Amino acid sequence: MIILKSPQEIDRMRAASRVVAEILEELREMVKPGVSTLELNRHAEQALRARKAQPAFKGYHGYPAVLCTSVNEEVVHGIPSPRRVLREGDIIGLDFGAVCDGYFGDAAVTVGVGGITPEAERLIQATEEALYLAIAKAVPGNRLSDVSLAVQYHVEACGYSVVREFVGHGIGRSLHEPPQVPNFGTFGHGVQLVPGMVLAIEPMVNAGGPEVEILSDGWTAVTRDRSLSAHFEHSVAITEDGPVILTCR
């Protein structure tokens, strides 16, 4: 069942989402050659504590960290490690969530490490563009497939593929709520969007094929062909006046 949020609840979600946005911006500034993904996780955990917020991810189905750090061919759910040290030319997806006063916020960005290739730049740009095209479709009266197809059409027009095993989701008092928000679809399908829905819209885009596999840690998803992957996400409220991005500063 899709849980609609009142304006007051959306305001409380905005507080959690602002924490996510602020800490993600701090993490972006930290991304450079020589930094380990564990250092990024430690900073995120300390920053949450300083804001008296709780981590959304740590302990979720046993996930061991507050941050997901997915490097290069890693699509999502990469586990921070002292052994994973960023190198010039890498790209890293930072996926992060927080809980404040019982409400969740969730967002992700992909960042280049130092100088990256034009091919990696184009992949990141296309994925971020797809996110904002999808958000523009998150208006009352549209169907969920309008959001999904905005991602798919743009990504495939750019020569890339969308991941199908992982999707976006509703969000509120739980990290994952109905409905699922795929990045592909069929025109005219899915629930009709109404004010009070809050969606975590998150394109996951591969430079090669769409297939993924899970590594032996049970969490890290990688592209099967080991092509690069990028990931962007915002928590978005659907209102009478259009979409409102909650996870922005």
Cα-Cα-Cα-Cα torsion 61, 74, 98, 201, nearest 10 degrees, comes to -100
Distance CA 34, CA 171 (A): 35
Range(s) of the domain holding residue 65: 7-245
Average pLDDT over residues 232-236: 98
Q: Round the average pLDDT of the chain to a whole number and report it.
A: 97
Residue 188: band (very low, low, confident or very high) from pLDDT cuts 50, 70, 90: confident
Going by pLDDT thresholds of 50, 70 and 90, the confidence category of residue 236 is: very high
Residue 2 placed within a domain: no
Closest to 58 (Cα-Cα) out of 83, 71, 41, 74: 41
Decide if 27 is inside a domain: yes
The pLDDT score that the predictor gives to residue 249 is 81
User: Is 92 a member of any domain?
Assistant: yes
Residue 225 falls inside a structural domain: yes
Beta carbons of 246 and 105 less than 8 angstroms apart: yes
165, 204, 3, 22: CA torsion to nearest 10: 140
Domain-located, residue 1: no
Residue 109 lies in a domain: yes
Here the CATH number for the domain that contains residue 220 is 3.90.230.10
pLDDT at 115 over 90: yes
Task: Look up tokens 């989701």; give the residue.
Answer: 169
Question: Does the pLDDT of residue 116 top 90, yes or no?
Answer: yes
Give tens-digit pLDDT for 67-100: 999 999 999 999 999 999 999 999 999 999 999 9
The pTM score is: 0.97
Angle at 238 between CA 7 and CA 109, to 5 degrees: 110
**Is there a domain that residue 87 lies in?**
yes
Structural domain count of the chain: 1
What is the signed CA dihedral for 32, 36, 38, 43, rounded to 10 degrees? -30
Is 83 among the domain residues? yes
Is residue 155 scored above 90 in pLDDT?
A: yes
For residue 229, give the amino acid letter: S
